[in-house]
Amino acid sequence: MTTLSGKTALVTGSTSGIGLGIALSLAKAGANLILNGFGDASKVIAEVELLNNKSGGKVGHHPADVSDPAQIADMIAYAEREFGGIDILVNNAGIQHVAPVEEFPVERWDSIIAINLSSVFHSTRLSLPGMRAKGWGRIINIASVHGQVGSVGKAAYVAAKHGVIGLTKVVGLETATTNVTCNAICPGWVLTPLVQKQIDDRIAKGIDPQQAQHDLLAEKQPSLEFVTPPQLGELVLFLCSEAGSQVRGAAWNIDGGWLAQ
């Protein structure tokens, strides 16, 4: 099992869903955790503390809104001050909005690009110097299958996630001769609040809840099963391990077969 004792991980958007699952896996592996995200973080902090008590790790939460570069800078400064810097950066915070391109609200486009794409640039540029100085680091960007293919109604999300994969390749190349790696993970459907909202939209049209979930999977995900946050957490641990050290600039699918079609 990978031990990350003594390392500090920042997971953006870790008060819910995938980010929370990844944070729990990293805490189980012994890492110190900096949580981030909206909502009441106290339950999440308590959950991570329980795991960290066993491994001696430390936990903190920074409430940065990652659509604001100044707040990201404040979060990285907090990490340096309180934890001695970031070893593992997981860029996970993200939002979705579904509408045809002609009707896509301009302010939703702007916030999806800011949160799902530009935040990855800002947290990377601000944490990379510390990783280079320490001689080790992992940058893991939670992209999506939508970083590689499109779906109707998701113009901003698909554009942002394609951008994340492009940025990942460049950072992977710029760090290629160092012990810092940068990779993207591309999940298919994961049953989180972000996806539940899309199931609820189908239910609102009169479709039975079980049927709505089945239809969502059947349209895209051949396994007909959701990917789970713990499975994503295990993939993050692999990318943090010695065995993962030559995976660089990759976009790693974990999608129940979505992209094999």
Residues in touch with ligand NAD (CB under 6 A) = 12-13, 15-19, 36-39, 65-67, 92-95, 115-116, 142, 144, 187, 189-190, 192-195
Integer CA distances (angstroms), 181 to 32, 69, 155, in order: 19, 23, 29
Contact of 188 with 255, CB cutoff 8 Å? yes
HEC secondary structure over 117-144: HHHHHHHHHHHHHHHHHHCCEEEEEECC
Residue 78 is a catalytic residue: no
Looking at the Cβ atoms of 8 and 14, the one nearer to ligand NAD is: 14
Looking at the Cβ atoms of 136 and 252, the one nearer to ligand NAD is: 252
Q: Residue 214 Cβ, how far from ligand NAD at the closest point, in Å?
A: 15
Looking at the Cβ atoms of 59 and 93, the one nearer to ligand NAD is: 93
- CA angle (254 as vertex; 55, 127 as ends), nearest 5: 55
Q: Residue 141 Cβ, how far from ligand NAD at the closest point, in Å?
A: 9
Q: Residue 140 Cβ, how far from ligand NAD at the closest point, in Å?
A: 12
Catalytic residue (one of 12, 61, 144, 157): 157
What residue has token string 């709505």? Answer: 212
| Number of neighbours of residue 240 by Cβ within 10 angstroms | 27
- CA angle (74 as vertex; 73, 78 as ends), nearest 5: 115
Looking at the Cβ atoms of 137 and 187, the one nearer to ligand NAD is: 187
Looking at the Cβ atoms of 85 and 187, the one nearer to ligand NAD is: 187
Q: Residue 26 Cβ, how far from ligand NAD at the closest point, in Å?
A: 15
Q: Give which of 80, 202, 89 is closest to 142, Cα–Cα.
A: 89
Q: Residue 261 Cβ, how far from ligand NAD at the closest point, in Å?
A: 16
- CA angle (119 as vertex; 11, 42 as ends), nearest 5: 35
Q: Where are the alpha helices (DSSP H) in 56-180?
A: 69-83, 106-112, 119-134, 155-174
Q: How far apart are the first and last CA of the chain?
A: 33
Looking at the Cβ atoms of 134 and 195, the one nearer to ligand NAD is: 195
| Number of neighbours of residue 98 by Cβ within 10 angstroms | 16
Q: Residue 199 Cβ, how far from ligand NAD at the closest point, in Å?
A: 11
Q: Give which of 154, 155, 147, 97 is closest to 120, Cα–Cα.
A: 147
Catalytically annotated residues = 157
